[in-house]
Structure 1
């Protein structure tokens, strides 16, 4: 059973790479948004032409990115949404809500400082974790029924 995993959320750390590397050998495929910030911001005007107003510049980019995001979320078996320490990640919250509305299995990842602000998002998740390795351990358990080695979380 190959699981399709969509990795959404902050783009300023290597959490995606940690999960992908840790999941080597598991029957999973990964997808996610464009994580090149400049490309993501400017894709609309680069493809469809410049805009005089920043609103329309951003709107074009958001619409193009939504094509990829919607497709990825709709086709995912599991959606992992990471909320980082920097910036307010409204897009991550939107992706989590969209995934929940689609009935997707949702894993939310954030530090303890976001516990209160994200309580509603956490309530929609099937798992809330702090570290990429915990996501890998969840995937291994779901696919193979195996637990992490003793001492890792017990």
Structure 2
């Protein structure tokens, strides 16, 4: 969902950020990640998973995940002034629904949500890496 959000609700909606280096950063990280992920799935389905693909799936995230998250956060941050100025996707009171929404504040909350979520997901992947690449019998019985 974060990819759809970043592509549509930030990068597509705020044209001014489309030329930011941060967009290139997350697009490169996502692209490499997906090439590795789908190669892993394909070879697994064929019951012929080369170790290099398995290793790449459980190792390259160490660099790619922080790279992608950095690109995402920098892109959202770059979009903030434009969102505020244009009032993009914001709904002000008064209106017939008696409801307001501030997209600028929402983007800030999204950025803050990375603080608890990123370490949790990153350390989960590190744990998976140890489990999958260790090859010990203790870890194999949990697969």
Q: Indicate the structure with greater strand content.
A: 1
Q: TM-score range by the shorter chain?
A: 0.3 to 0.5
Q: Indicate the structure with greater helix content.
A: 2
